[in-house]
Amino acid sequence: MTTNILEMRSITKTFPGVKALQDVSLAVKRGHIHAICGENGAGKSTLMKVLSGVYPHGTYEGEIVFENEPVAFKSINDSEASGVVIIHQELALSPFLSIAENIFLGNEQQNNGWIDWNKTNMEAAKLLARVGLKDNPITKIRDIGVGKQQLVEIAKALSKEVKLLILDEPTAALNDEDSAHLLDLMKHLKGQGVTSIMISHKLNEIKAIADEVTIIRDGKLIETLDMHTDDISEERIIKGMVGRDLGSRYPDHTPNIGEELLRVEDWNVYHPLDHQRRVVKDANITVRAGEIVGIAGLMGAGRTELAMSVFGHSYGHNISGTVYKNGVKINTSTVANAIDHGLAYATEDRKRYGLNLIEDIKRNISTVGMHKIAKRGWVDSNQEIVVAEGYRKSMNIKAPTVEALAGKLSGGNQQKVVLSKWMFSDPDVLILDEPTRGIDVGAKYEIYGIINRLADAGKGVIVISSELPELIGICDRIYTIFEGRITADVARGQTTAEFLMQNMTQERDKDKR
């Protein structure tokens, strides 16, 4: 009988307006690999941030017992001192420092303030051997690939005498070979007594190495499954991840679908920094007038990369493929071109890419369609107010006036400003990337209503989302995308969340590349 190294009891974490975690308990056995699964936004990362002290003790309810002692981590330093180390999806390495310097960053091998380089490099070499990395410790981080960088992160964790290693989607950015190596390493570390928690979307990986899997959905614990005794299938996990009632959270809509508006053919995109890595592979998608098309994919599957590369080559390197609008080949190689051809793209990251937060609502709305209220380069400010006021009413943007700053609005209202901005540019095809992320349930319903209205007006709408019930609830047709490849194309009514999740987490036929 193995004992628990970690017990998190009844953790509840509230953000203004949202319960991110509700009464979640988690027990991790010593020396096991424990996987945590759930949709994007289910609360996995929040739970790990509570555990590692990113959200300090006192900002959440519930208790954490580590090594049979109640702990109250106030910061990452506290948790690391106890042997809990988290490796985030975005690696925290300094590209211009060497591997050895990165491993001992903040924990320098020193003599009274002077770095002991011999010790630094020798200890680093030992750690690198443990993770199976043969590179010289004085190599700079930017000169090694992402896969090796991930291993350096693990070596860094080992240098802190880690007892519990937390990996947040460790293979999301890795190719197949590097992923396989990483999984082997995790098993190897397990043999050395290191306990791991792994957050992952990739069910084949979970099945390959995890001892237990805990499923979280909507901030609540669904179940913890023992991978050995219960002989758990991938379908079983998927059911836990998506299984909830679809109810009437989606407005009724009768589609009126017309001619094909947009077609993307043989679309290929390479990673902007890693030119070898293909992030979109031979993708083909179409959308017709009045049609709402979903793209279901998990984070990092290539869905945003697909959309942004089509929209003015805003992402990626060495983009190839053809875009047709109403059957005619068009050039979308700059954002201005794409907009001129009637495309719109509302980003998944409103704050970074969607809004000017220090500017007011009306000026945000007029950004794209400014030519419509300008004569010879001069903007009619009164007309601008009229336009913005119109959207404030029709989109139900909750703000005292259209001169309220975008940064002061709630997520739902910010999203409505973004949508207003694109609607004012009068596009034919709208690509909405995670349109309801970080928005409360009431506002979501309104956004769905807006999407239906757009379709009724004869526009083609593409909705990118990882929330399957949402896609099933509002889309007429859904594509799934996994590792950059479109894996399925199904009509509404002929699919289930389980079927979609299957195609989002594995390739149907294993023809790689």
Shortest gap between Cβ of 437 and other proteins (angstroms)? 16
Structure tokens at 190: 């397990």
Rank residues 425 and 480 by Cβ distance to other proteins and give the closer one: 425
Residues in contact with 28: Cβ distance below 8 Å, sequence separation at least 6, in sequence order: 4, 5, 6, 7, 34, 164, 195, 197, 212
Interface with other proteins: number of residues (CB under 8 A): 38
Considering only residues 375 to 414 of the shown chain, the ones binding other proteins according to CB under 8 A are 377-379, 381-382, 385-386, 389, 401-403, 407
Question: 242 Cβ partners below 8 Å, 6+ apart?
Answer: 39, 217, 468, 469, 497, 498, 501
Task: Report the nearest approach of other proteins to the CB of residue 425 (Å).
Answer: 8
Smallest gap from Cβ 366 to other proteins, in A, equals 8
Q: Residue 121: which residues within 8 A CB-CB, separation 6 or more? A: 100, 137, 138
Question: Binding residue for other proteins (CB under 8 A) from 288, 421, 444, 459?
Answer: 421
C-beta of 353 vs 445, nearer to other proteins: 353
Residues 37-56 that bind other proteins (CB under 8 A): none
278 to 317: interface string for other proteins, x by CB under 8 A: ---------------------------------xx-x---
CB of 401 to other proteins, least distance (A): 5
Comparison of 223 and 349: residue with beta carbon closer to other proteins: 349
Q: Is the dihedral of CA 192, 193, 195, 201 positive or negative?
A: positive
- Compare residues 425 and 436 and give the one whose CB is closer to other proteins: 425
Nearer to other proteins, 134 or 352 (CB): 352
Question: Within a 10 A sphere around the Cβ of 420, how many other Cβ atoms?
Answer: 25
Taking the complex as a whole, how short is the minimal distance between the CB of residue 311 and other proteins, in angstroms? 8
In 150-194, beta strands by DSSP E: 164-168
Question: What is the chain's percent helix, strand, coil content, to nearest 5?
Answer: 35, 30, 40
Complex with other proteins: residue 286 or 367, whichever CB lies closer: 367
Q: Are strands 477-482 and 292-296 parallel, antiparallel or unpaired?
A: parallel
Of 100, 119, 95, 122, which Cα lies nearest the Cα of 109? 119
Binding mask 352-371 for other proteins (x = CB under 8 A): xxxxxxxx---x--xxx-xx
User: Which residues face 115 on adjacent strands?
Assistant: 110
Strands 4-15 vs 61-66: parallel, antiparallel or unpaired: antiparallel
Q: Looking at residues 240 to 279 of the shown chain, list those that interact with other proteins (rule: CB under 8 A).
A: none
CB 367 to other proteins: min, Å: 5
Structure-block tokens of residue 203 = 């069910």
Q: Which of 76, 105, 335, 488 binds other proteins (CB under 8 A)?
A: 335
Q: Judged by CB, which is closer to other proteins: 122, or 335?
A: 335
Q: Which pairs count as long-range contacts for 80-83, CB under 8 Å and 24+ apart, including other chains? A: 80/160, 82/163, 83/160, 83/161, 83/162, 83/163, 83/164
Nearer to other proteins, 346 or 475 (CB): 346
Smaller CB separation from other proteins, 315 or 448: 315
Secondary structure class of 110 (helix, strand, coil)? strand
How far apart are CB 15 and other proteins at their closest, in Å?
16
CB 405 within 8 A of CB 357: yes
Out of 60, 73, 270, 345, the residue judged to bind other proteins by CB under 8 A: 345
**Residue whose entry in the numeric block shows the structure tokens 């989002």:** 504
Q: Kindly tell me which residue out of 72, 92, 336, 441 binds other proteins, with binding defined by CB under 8 A.
A: 336
Interface residue list for other proteins (CB under 8 A): 311-312, 314, 335-336, 338-339, 345, 347, 352-359, 363, 366-368, 370-371, 374, 377-379, 381-382, 385-386, 389, 401-403, 407, 421, 425
